[in-house]
């Protein structure tokens, strides 16, 4: 085994997100369509003992116990009794706390990379269980691509991969608390999950996506509470549509917005109209993490 392993972890967007009901564990049953896009963090894992040392390019990120890459390493050590250590270099490109699962992707990469670096030999099923302990999006981030997800977001059903599609991501400079959004009195819950599979609305969105009918597929119930608190986000989404995007929505609990465009050139044209926000032009990728060494 090499003593240095490199991975990248991609950002995800939620093309569709509905919240059904509150669960006894405090989380919510959701229905969502995830898609990974070509905005990625880089992680280098170098064997170094005995603890976990994390060095991160983003100053606003904790390099200790609250960082998800660090926590992934700690969790693996605790559960396997492994006493080997690691130095993790994390080069952050995905905005933090942005609804893009950047931290969850870092955790997914750390689980998979450290399982290799430390010769732990944990099977995928066990890694997926640990992933869910770290966060609702982490099991998806291990896989990536076009996926329908239910329960907390960990029950994954692969969909036909979305063929090349270009997006403008708009990054408003505000921090949104996911916990606060999910527990907002302004959030309208759809109701208990039906016994026999997805709700008709979710099935409709999946069918619409297969025909690339983005206007019918894109939806996010969390826009209700978030846009009520931040009207600038609602206005930015309207601007994406006014600029000719095929559909526009918010990713996760925000604040990142995305517009779906006809081509890369079209996405670049829309992006430059947003001189008041940071933007990224990205396309679909079929994986959540990728080994890069």
Q: Which residue in 119, 137, 275, 276 is the catalytic one? A: 137
Q: Which residue, 136 or 165, is less far from ligand C5P as judged by CB?
A: 136
Please say if 137 is a catalytic residue: yes
70, 45 contact by CB (below 8 A): no
Q: Which residue in 12, 18, 41, 266 is the catalytic one? A: 12
Beta-strand pair 155-158/147-150? antiparallel
Measure the CA–CA gap between 182 and 9, rounded to whole angstroms.
Answer: 25
CA distances from 68 to 62, 97, 106, 124, 138 (A): 9, 12, 7, 19, 10
- Residue 46: other Cβ atoms inside 10 A: 16
Residue 136 interacts with ligand C5P (CB under 6 A): yes or no = yes
> Total number of residues binding ligand C5P (CB under 6 A)?
11
Choice from 79, 152, 216, 269 touching ligand C5P (CB under 6 A) = 152
Residue 179 interacts with ligand C5P (CB under 6 A): yes or no = yes
Residue 148 interacts with ligand C5P (CB under 6 A): yes or no = no
Residue 225 interacts with ligand C5P (CB under 6 A): yes or no = no
Residue 178 interacts with ligand C5P (CB under 6 A): yes or no = yes
Closest separation between CB of residue 179 and ligand C5P, Å? 4
Q: Which residue, 152 or 269, is less far from ligand C5P as judged by CB?
A: 152
Site map (CB under 6 A) of ligand C5P, residues 81-120, x = contact:
----------------------------------------
- Residue 288: other Cβ atoms inside 10 A: 28
Closest separation between CB of residue 242 and ligand C5P, Å? 31
Phi/psi of residue 275, nearest 5 degrees: -75, -10
Beta-strand pair 278-283/219-220? unpaired
Site map (CB under 6 A) of ligand C5P, residues 26-55, x = contact:
-xx-x-------------------------
Please list, in sequence order, all residues whose beta carbon lies within 8 angstroms of the beta carbon of residue 29, skipping any fewer than 6 positions away: 19, 20, 21, 23, 150, 151, 152, 192, 193
Instruction: Identify each DSSP E strand in the chain by its residue range.
Output: 4-22, 28-47, 52-56, 86-91, 147-150, 155-158, 166-171, 219-220, 247-250, 257-261, 278-283, 289-291
Question: Looking at residue 164, what DSSP letter applies?
Answer: S
Residue 171 interacts with ligand C5P (CB under 6 A): yes or no = no
Please say if 25 is a catalytic residue: no
Q: Which residue, 152 or 190, is less far from ligand C5P as judged by CB?
A: 152
Q: Which residue, 165 or 253, is less far from ligand C5P as judged by CB?
A: 253
Q: Which residues are catalytic?
A: 12, 137
State the residues that interact with ligand C5P by CB under 6 A: 27-28, 30, 135-137, 152-153, 178-179, 182
């Amino acid at each position: 085994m090499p003593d240095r392993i490199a991975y990248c972890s991609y950002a995800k967007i939620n093309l569709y997100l509905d919240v059904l009901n509150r669960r006894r564990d405090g989380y919510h049953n959701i229905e969502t369509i995830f898609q990974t896009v070509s905005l990625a963090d880089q992680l280098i894992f170098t064997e170094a003992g005995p603890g976990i040392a994390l060095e991160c390019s983003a100053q606003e990120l904790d390099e200790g116990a609250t960082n998800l890459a660090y926590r992934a390493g700690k969790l693996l050590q605790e559960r396997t009794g492994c006493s080997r250590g690691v130095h993790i270099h994390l080069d952050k490109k995905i905005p933090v706390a942005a609804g893009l699962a950047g931290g969850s992707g870092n955790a997914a990469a750390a689980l998979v990379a450290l399982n290799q670096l430390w010769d732990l030999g944990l099977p995928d099923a066990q890694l997926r269980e640990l992933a869910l302990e770290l966060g609702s999006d982490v099991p998806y981030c291990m896989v990536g691509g076009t996926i329908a997800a239910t329960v907390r977001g960990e029950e994954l059903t692969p969909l036909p991969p979305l063929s090349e599609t270009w997006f403008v991501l708009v990054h408003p400079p505000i921090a949104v608390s996911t916990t606060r959004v999910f527990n907002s009195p302004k959030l309208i819950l759809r109701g208990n999950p039906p016994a026999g599979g997805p709700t008709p609305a979710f099935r409709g969105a999946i069918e619409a996506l297969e025909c690339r009918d983005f206007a019918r597929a894109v939806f996010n119930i969390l826009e209700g509470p978030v846009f009520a608190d931040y009207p600038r986000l609602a206005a930015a989404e309207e601007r994406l549509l006014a600029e000719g995007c095929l559909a526009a929505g918010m990713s996760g609990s925000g604040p990142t917005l995305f517009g779906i465009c006809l081509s890369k050139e079209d996405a670049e044209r829309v992006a430059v109209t947003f001189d008041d926000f940071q933007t990224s032009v990205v396309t679909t990728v079929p994986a959540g993490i990728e080994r890069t060494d």
